[in-house]
């Protein structure tokens, strides 16, 4: 790593500047940390000379210093604020302070060391994600700036917690927007994969190297606990089941049967192992299939379930995909309702930020009406508290989960 990017407080004044256009600092002053390329006065401070990930002082149009950001001239979000303290060094100590604050919150929330330790902007580390699986940590750096600084992040983790293993899982599609390649690397210790974790009293095997994203999705923790309480003696269908997080916990909650459907054979193998690990594999079925095709066949065969979980991957990754994505969500939820027994429960989730909570609410309402069903929400959930929402950064509030009771029309 270049020494330039270990910036001490004594040389902060030597950093280059980016100056914003008139009134474009309002979002920053309100607490957001993003700067878009069209907000920069490029006649005063051109972006092209900056290297990807280079640090800079952000100035208002009047020349007032607003904070320190890292810059990527090739990205639409051309800068992300790291700190408003102009006297802070951007070094290992800076990252230790951020991590210590994040760790303090998680240790208050959870008695066991299985959680998202760093959630990007909400924890003051834009572009960084750190998931903790006991003494194994999985790190994602999704921006050029955080990629440049990741040595400090890893050093801070080693100093503060001393993990057995650290995995760099830099495979997110977000990296392409920053001009970054994808890769996976074990940067500390040896990794015996899969790793065992706990959630809501259940045990799971997680594959940090070969699994999706970091290998586990902590964000639905609370919603899965609710499902377990609703599951005694019923038939459950878990769509997009991945490694069985919903399905296994439903089975542990006393479900009579659980069908897990996913398109990944590797994920389903791990789901079956997770069923066995918890002693519930005998009442679980693992089906490799396209979810839409499975629903069509289940409808034709008149299969019925008491609970259907619809938790797809993000179907709307870009704003321009909203129309197509909304139609996919509509078809999924319609198909799920069609295989529900009378008085059944639909658990419908979306992790697509561009599908707003109100939009999913309206989609479910309209789908229920079009099918002449009486649909009510008895729980509306979001992401678990280890994914804290920054009140000035709406992009940190992405997960929507609706628990719907569905009956014949009144």
CATH of the domain at 105: 3.30.750.80
Buried b (16+ CB within 10 A) or exposed e, 28-62: beeebbbbebebbeeeebebeebebbbbbbbbbee
300: three-class secondary structure by DSSP: helix
DSSP state of 335: H
Could you say which of 53, 83, 113 is where a domain stops?
83
pLDDT band per the 50, 70, 90 thresholds, residue 7: low
The confidence score (pLDDT) of residue 409 equals: 79
Could you say which of 164, 196, 228 is where a domain stops?
196
173: three-class secondary structure by DSSP: coil
In a domain, 176, yes or no: yes
Please check whether residues 24 and 133 belong to one and the same domain.
no
CB 308, CB 349: distance < 8 Å: no
In a domain, 152, yes or no: yes
In the predicted structure, residue 276 carries a pLDDT above the cut 60: yes
The confidence score (pLDDT) of residue 10 equals: 44
Of 185, 111, 195, whose CA–CA distance to 154 is shortest?
185
Please check whether residues 37 and 121 belong to one and the same domain.
no
In the predicted structure, residue 155 carries a pLDDT above the cut 90: yes
CB 341, CB 365: distance < 8 Å: no
| CA dist., res. 328 & res. 326, Å (int) | 5
Of 342, 403, 327, 332, whose CA–CA distance to 372 is shortest?
342
In a domain, 211, yes or no: no
Structurally, the chain folds into a number of domains equal to 3
In the predicted structure, residue 352 carries a pLDDT above the cut 60: yes
In a domain, 307, yes or no: yes
Of 298, 269, 299, whose CA–CA distance to 286 is shortest?
269
- pTM beyond 0.75: the answer is yes
The confidence score (pLDDT) of residue 321 equals: 86
Q: Give pLDDT tens digits for 10-53.
A: 446 689 999 999 999 999 999 999 999 999 999 999 999 999 99
In the predicted structure, residue 4 carries a pLDDT above the cut 70: no
Please check whether residues 192 and 221 belong to one and the same domain.
no
| Residue 16 CA neighbour count, 13 Å, CB half | 17
Please check whether residues 391 and 281 belong to one and the same domain.
yes
The confidence score (pLDDT) of residue 1 equals: 37
- Max Cα distance, the chain (Å): 72
CB 196, CB 276: distance < 8 Å: no
Q: Which residue range(s) make up the domain with 66?
A: 17-83
CB 339, CB 298: distance < 8 Å: yes
In a domain, 181, yes or no: yes
pLDDT band per the 50, 70, 90 thresholds, residue 350: very high
Please check whether residues 189 and 261 belong to one and the same domain.
no
The confidence score (pLDDT) of residue 36 equals: 98
DSSP letters, 216-236, are: --GGGHHHHHHHHHH-TT-EE
Please check whether residues 278 and 390 belong to one and the same domain.
yes
Could you say which of 165, 196, 227 is where a domain stops?
196
Q: Which positions ≥6 away from 16 have C-beta within 8 Å? A: 45, 49, 50, 54, 56, 57
Task: Output the CA–CA distances (angstroms, integers) from residue 39 to 3, 25, 51, 84, 396, in the order listed.
Answer: 29, 8, 19, 18, 21
Question: Which CATH number characterizes residue 64's domain?
Answer: 2.30.130.10
In a domain, 201, yes or no: no
Q: Give pLDDT tens digits for 80-89.
A: 999 999 999 9
In a domain, 206, yes or no: no
In the predicted structure, residue 346 carries a pLDDT above the cut 70: yes
Beta strands at 305-310 and 340-350: parallel, antiparallel or unpaired: parallel
Please check whether residues 54 and 125 belong to one and the same domain.
no
The confidence score (pLDDT) of residue 408 equals: 84
The confidence score (pLDDT) of residue 12 equals: 60
Any idea which residues carry the catalytic annotation? 351
Please check whether residues 108 and 78 belong to one and the same domain.
no
Q: Give pLDDT tens digits for 199-242.
A: 999 999 999 999 999 999 999 999 999 999 999 999 999 999 99
Question: Which CATH number characterizes residue 320's domain?
Answer: 3.40.50.150
Please check whether residues 42 and 97 belong to one and the same domain.
no
CB 291, CB 312: distance < 8 Å: yes
Please check whether residues 289 and 367 belong to one and the same domain.
yes
In a domain, 312, yes or no: yes
Average model confidence (pLDDT) across the chain: 95
Please check whether residues 156 and 73 belong to one and the same domain.
no
């Amino acid at each position: 790593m270049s020494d330039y990017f270990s910036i001490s407080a004594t040389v902060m004044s030597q950093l280059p500047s980016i100056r914003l256009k008139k009134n474009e600092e309002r979002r920053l002053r309100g607490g957001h940390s993003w700067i878009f390329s069209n907000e920069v006065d490029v006649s005063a401070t051109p972006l092209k000379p900056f290297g990807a990930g280079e640090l800079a002082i952000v100035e208002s149009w009047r020349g007032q210093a607003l904070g320190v950001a890292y810059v990527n001239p090739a990205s639409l979000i051309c800068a992300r604020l790291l700190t408003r303290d102009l006297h802070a060094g951007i070094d290992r100590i800076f990252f230790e302070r951020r991590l210590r604050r994040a760790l303090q919150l998680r240790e208050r929330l959870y008695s066991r060391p299985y959680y998202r330790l760093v959630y990007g902007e909400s924890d003051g580390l834009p572009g960084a994600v750190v998931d903790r699986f006991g003494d194994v940590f999985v790190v994602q750096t999704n921006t050029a700036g955080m990629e440049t600084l990741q040595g400090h992040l890893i050093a801070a983790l080693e100093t503060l917690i001393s993990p057995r293993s650290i995995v760099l899982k830099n495979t997110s599609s977000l990296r392409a927007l920053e001009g970054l390649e994808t890769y996976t690397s074990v940067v500390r210790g040896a990794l015996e994969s899969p790793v065992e974790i706990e959630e809501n009293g259940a045990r799971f095997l997680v594959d940090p190297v070969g699994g999706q994203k970091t290998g586990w999705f902590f964000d639905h923790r609370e919603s899965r606990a609710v499902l377990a309480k609703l599951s005694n003696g019923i038939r459950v269908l878990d769509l997009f089941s991945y490694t069985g997080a919903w399905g296994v916990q439903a089975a542990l909650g006393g479900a009579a049967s659980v069908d897990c459907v996913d398109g990944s054979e590797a994920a389903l193998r791990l789901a079956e192992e997770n069923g066995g690990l918890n002693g519930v594999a005998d009442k679980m079925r693992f089906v490799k299939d396209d979810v839409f095709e499975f629903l069509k066949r289940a409808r034709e065969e008149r299969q019925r379930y008491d609970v259907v979980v619809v938790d797809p991957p993000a179907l709307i990754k870009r704003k321009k995909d909203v129309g197509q994505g909304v139609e996919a969500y509509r078809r999924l939820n319609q198909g799920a309702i069609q295989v529900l027994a009378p008085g059944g429960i639909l658990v419908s989730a979306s992790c697509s930020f561009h599908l707003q909570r109100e939009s999913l609410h309206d989609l479910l309402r309209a789908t229920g009406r079009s099918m002449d069903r009486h649909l009510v929400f008895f729980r509306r959930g979001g992401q678990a508290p280890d994914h804290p929402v920054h009140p000035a950064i709406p992009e940190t509030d992405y997960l929507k989960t609706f628990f719907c009771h569905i009956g014949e029309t009144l």
